[in-house]
Structure 1
Amino acid sequence: MSSVMTAPPSDRAEIVDVGFPFKSLVDRLSPGGRYIDAQSDVDSPWVPFGDKAAIKHLAFDVRQGIFSNILWVKEPGVVGTHLHRGTIVMVCLEGSVRYLEYDWVASPGGLILEVPGESHTLVTEHPEGVKLFGWMQGPIEFYDADGKFVDTTDVWWFINHYESHCRAHGIAINPKLYL
C-alpha cells in the first residue's frame, strides 16, 4: 500500500453509510451542515458598517467565539487601526486591499492570514473598493488615530449588529447563521 494518497477513492455518486458509531449523538446534538447563499440577500442582508462599508454576516459560533462574514468597503477607504486577539483568515473576493503596516497588496483569490497580537490599518485604494470573506476568532479591538482604545468587536458584537439591523428593517433572523 502506498503512503501517498493521490485522491480519495470514489467510483459512484451516492451516499455511503460509513458506520460512524456516534451518528445518533451527532444527529441529536449537532446543528448540522448548511449552505448560506452569500451571493444574494436571501440568507443574510448587507448591514451598514459606517458610511462606506457593509457586512454580510455568514456564521456565528458563540462556543468558540468565531464569526464569519464578507466585509465590503464600497470605494477607496480605510478601516481604522485594530488589534486582533484571535486568528483571522480572509480571502480577497473583489478589488484589492493592503495594510499600512505591510508591503503587500491582496488581490482577488489572495489569502490573508493574521495572528493574535497584530495590529494594523486596512486600506483599499481600488476604485471599486474591496470585498473580503473572513473567518475570524476572538475579539478585535479598535483604536483611534492617537492609539486610544475605542471599542471591541467580537462574536456578540457581530450578532447584535446583524440582529439589530434585521429587527429595524423587518427582516427575519436566519437561524442557519448560528452554529
Structure 2
Amino acid sequence: MTQQNLITKLPPEPHEAMINRFGKEGAFIPGDDKNNPWVPFGDSAAIKHLAFDVRSNSVANILWVKGGGRIGTHKHRGVVSAVTLEGSWGYYEYDWISRPGDFVYELPGTAHTLYSDDPNGMKALFWINGAIEFFDDEAKYDFTADVFWFIDHYVKHCEANGLEINKDMFI
C-alpha cells in the first residue's frame, strides 16, 4: 500500500470539515536566491526570511554573516533556536564555536554579540520567538526586532527591488 493510499484510508476526524473549510495546509518556501532574496542586515550580514507568525510573534530565517562580520549586541525576550548550516560562528560572551550541524538554543533574557571570523562567513537557520532588543557599541538601546520588524524588513526590500512578496511566508 502506498503512502497516499494509506492517508486516504484514515478515518475522518470529527473536526475535518472545519479544517478543510478554514485551515491552511502549510506552504513550500523556496530557498533559491531568485524567489527568496537575501535582504541586507547591516554592513556584513543578510537575512533570508522564511516565515512570519504574527500570532506567536515568531519568525524563521537564515542569517548569513560574512567573514569577519558581527551582529550587534542583542537581548532576547523569547526562546531562539538555531542550526548552523555553513561556516562557523559564536558569541563573544561564550566559549563555544558553532559549526555545521550544531544546534544552539537561547533563553529569554540572554544578551550576546554574534560574530563570525570564518573566512567564508556563516549561515544558520534561526527560529526566533519573541522580540530581540539591539544595543549600540555604547550599550544604549538601538531598536527592537519583532515579527512586525522582520515583515517590514522583507516587504520593504521586495517593494524597493520590484520583487514579488511570497504570501506563503505569512502563517
TM-score between the two structures when normalised by the length of structure 1: 0.89
Percent identity (aligned): 46
Which of residues 121, 127, 148 is equivalent to 1:156? Answer: 148
Corresponding residue number in structure 1 for 2:66 = 74
| Alignment partners' CA distance in 2, 1:109 and 1:134 | 13
Per-residue CA distance 1:70-128 (angstroms, 9 max, x = gap)? 01012221111100001101110000001111111000010010010000010111001
Matched, 1:120 2:115: no
Matched, 1:86 2:74: no
Query: Runs of 4+ in structure 1 displaced over 6 angstroms?
Result: none
Corresponding residue number in structure 1 for 2:130 = 138
Which letter does structure 1 place at the counterpart of 2:165? Answer: I
What do you get for the CA RMSD once the two structures are aligned? 1.3
Per the TM alignment, residue 42 of structure 1 is displaced from its structure 2 partner at its CA by 4.3
Gaps of 5+ in 2: none
Task: Choose 66-75 or 13-22, whichever is displaced more.
Answer: 13-22
| Alignment partners' CA distance in 1, 2:73 and 2:134 | 6
Total equivalences in the alignment: 168
Corresponding residue number in structure 1 for 2:98 = 106
Gaps of 5+ in 1: 1-10
TM-score between the two structures when normalised by the length of structure 2: 0.93
| Alignment partners' CA distance in 2, 1:141 and 1:25 | 39
Corresponding residue number in structure 2 for 1:14 = 4
